Each structure stands twice: as C-alpha cells, then as structure tokens.
Structure 1
Amino acid sequence: MFEYKIDEELSLKMIDHQDAEELFDLSDRSRDHIRTWLPWINFTKEVEDTRNYIKMCLRRFAENDGLTVCILYHGKIAGVVDFHEMDKKNNVTSIGYWMGDEYKGRGLLTRACRVLCHYAFEELGMNRIEIRAASKNIKSRGVPERLGFKQEGVIRQAALLYDEYTDHVVYGILKEEWRKKEAHI
C-alpha cells in the first residue's frame, strides 16, 4: 500500500484491511480518551467493527468521496485523519481526526493535517477546508489554530454527546490563505 513519508518518524498511509487489528487495538487502548469526544468508540467493541469501518472508508475512496489515512509514528499506527464530506461541485472538504492516547502531545496530528491540507489544495483542487471541534475540546481545536485556520463561528448544540448537546467551533481556511501562509514557512 502507498505510504507518504513526512519525515524520519512520521508517515501517512491509506487505510487498508490489513490495518484492522492494529487499529482496533489502538482504539481499544485509547477507549477512555476517545470516549470523551467521540461516541463511535462505544460501538467499536471488536475487530469486526473496525473491519466494517475500513470497508466504509475504502468504499468512500472508491466512490471518490473521501480519503482515510493512518498516521504512522515509527511504523506504528498512532491515529487516523480523513477527508469527509467532499463537495466536488463547490471544491470544499472537511477534515476529521483522532489520535491514540499514548501519542498525544507530539504534534503528530498537526503535521499530518498540514500534509493533507497541501494535498487537498494542490492535488484535489479544493478551495476550502473546514475542521470542526467540540468547543470544550481544546486539544482538538489547537490543530486548526496552529495551521492558520480561521475560527468562523460556533454551531450551537451541534451534536448530542452522552445526553448533552455539545457546541462545535467551525474553522476554515481558503486555498489563497493556505498558499500565503505556506510561502512564509
């Protein structure tokens, strides 16, 4: 499977069926951490659930409607980043992500998202990328903030999370803004 090397310790690879056990193990070890913001973990109870998730990701890729990549840190799966809600008519996409508990705080998500933003703008022809994060999820919000996304607003009560509504902060960046920012790095 294709792997994109970012640097000596970090690379991205498209999710594949062979990743099911390692990805399930990572999510299972990170269950308490993930559960705080992402309720899908409660429905991921066995490797077969992860296999079904991978099938969905590969189907979306085959239909040209998404791309899910594993973040590899020293060759081990550390998390997942994906494009979802790809709107080809308007050249807009959004990025979602999660990181295994033992890999937090190393800047891996920011570095991976930087590569995916470049790919979306320069290879896929996107004009806008959006990232949404729960308003109280400060670590997740830090990713778009470090990448130069602009906070565009708050969607009140955007998601029902364990019987409580959660607000989402919406971040966006345009191709022209990205290119200006990248030119100064």
Structure 2
Amino acid sequence: MTTPAAPPAAPETPVALTTEEIWPFAGLRVVSDDLELRYLDDDLLFRLAEVAAQGVHAEDAMPFTTPWTRGTPLDVARSVVTYHWGGRGAVSGTGNTRLELAVLSAGEPVGIQGFFGTDVAITRTVETGSWLGLAYQGHGIGTRMRRLVLHLLFEGLGLDVAVTTAFADNAPSNGVTRRIGYEPNGVDVVAREGKPALSNRYRLTREAWEAQADRPDVELHGVAPVRSFLGLDAGPSAPSDRAR
C-alpha cells in the first residue's frame, strides 16, 4: 500500500502583498482642488463607459483616428471597456507603455486622460490623449485635466517631452493644446473614417513647461513606485508624492 505524500509545508512567514505593491498604478492619484486623475479600475471603467455612451462629441464630428464613438450607446460603452481591458497589459518599463487614468470632477467620473509611448525609459517621451463626456465640456475641465497629466509626466515621472495630436478641424482641441504651451510640430495626413484628414502634431518640453508661471498646484500620490516600475529612476530626478 502506498503511503500518501505529505502536503507541502506552509511557509513560516506568509507573504503579504498589498494591491499597490503588486500593481503600483493602483495607488496613483493626481489631485488639484476638485479635479483628480486616478487609476482606472473596473468600477471607474464601467462608470466611464456609461459617460461615453451619453456622447463625447457632436454627431457630425470625429476627433479620433479610430471611430470608437460610432454606434449605439451600448456599442460605445463596450468599446470603452474592451479597449481599456486590452491595454492594461501594455504598461511596462520596457517596450510599449500605456496608462489610462480616470478624470474625476468633484468626485464624479467625467472622462479619461492617458499617455503612451515606446521605450519611454530611454526616450523620456510620451504622447498624451484624452476624452471628456459631452455633458462636461465647455467648463474648463479639458484644459485642467491635461495640465494635471503634464504635471505628473514632468514633475512626477521626470520625463522630458510630451507630444500630442489633434485633427485640424477640431478647433477646441487645438485651442487647448496651444493654450497649454505646446509648440506646433508638423502636420500629417491620416485616414479617418475612410477619408484623408489633416492632423496637427504638437510638442512640449520639460523646460517650456517649467517656464510657465501659471502651472497648477498639484498633489501627487503614489508616484515613486510607478517611476520605479517604469524604469524611470535612472533618469532626471523629479519631485514625487508632494504638492508643488
């Protein structure tokens, strides 16, 4: 008769890991008065899918290269969820990096602000992108949320350059981008819903950002673990986890 093998012994000291240790972005927050950027967990993701389903732009406009805002409200909501689920695994200190943050105004989710890049630890450069629910546009939130992510990129993560694009016929986006201090950086012709469209490129350096006198007062929370995870600690030093 074979004697059953004894079960493996439990470790003397169980390993206890927090959510933030496993996934540092879970503790990331960027706060200025009543506006906040926060890691996009599933609860916020589904709430923002509902926001997007209510509309992001006028029917006769298309501010995105991928027309994810077309279709029924349910189509749009599902597009938001599946896109962000698919992108979570792209966050890394090597290769491609993509991070999406929920935008909350007075505690209510109103849009998403993200950034992405390739070999960011080497290039110290990312591209930003965002959207804001139609019901919340025209109140200055779009400008403020983009200033908050720039504060995170330059003063929290120690990056050197932020770039962005906007279709030439998207006057609000171009206006906000120039108002924040981006410099024009060329024009591309890209496909948009089966037709050619002009897309303006913009570039903002850390030096140009730091020279601005009207930068917002911002509190950064949970930045140091994110810098380490993305391999950014070897680059220029930058303040983290404090207000400017």
What TM-score comes out, normalization by structure 2 length?
Answer: 0.67
Structure 2 unpaired stretches of 5+: 1-25, 217-244
Given candidates 192, 196, 202, the residue that maps to 1:171 is 202
**Match for residue 37 of structure 1?**
63
Aligned residue identity for 1:153: G
Partner residue, 2:115: 83
SS at match of 1:139: helix
Q: CA RMSD in A?
A: 2.3
In the alignment, is the contact (CA less than 8 A) between 2:102 and 2:112 conserved in 1? yes
The alpha carbon displacement at 1:147 in A equals 0.8
Contact 1:154 1:167 in 2 (8 A): yes
Change (3 A) 1:85 1:154: same
Q: Which residue of 2 aligns with 1:72?
A: 104
Tell me the amino acid that sits aligned with residue 68 of structure 2: W
Letter in 1 for 2:204: I
Judging changes above 3 Å, is the alpha-carbon distance between structure 1 residues 169 and 177 closer, same or farther for their aligned structure 2 residues? same
Structure with the bigger percentage of strand? 1
Is contact 2:117-2:127 (8 Å) kept?
Answer: yes
- Matched residue, 2:17: none
Tell me if 1:14 matches 2:39: yes
The normalised TM-score by structure 1 is 0.86
Q: Which of the two has higher C-alpha Rg? A: 2
Letter in 2 for 1:56: G
Higher mean alpha-carbon deviation, 120-129 vs 167-176, is at: 120-129
CA shift, 1:75, in A, is 1.5
Change in 2 beyond 3 A, CA 1:175/1:161 = same
Residue 94 of structure 1 aligns with an amino acid whose one-letter code is: E
Q: CA deviation at 1:139?
A: 0.5
Partner AA of 1:168 in structure 2 = S
What displacement does 1:168 show?
Answer: 0.7
Matched with 2:162 is 129
**3-state DSSP class of the match of 1:172?**
strand
Q: Which runs of 5+ in 1 are unaligned?
A: none
Relative contact order (C-alpha < 8 Å, sep 6+): which is higher? 2
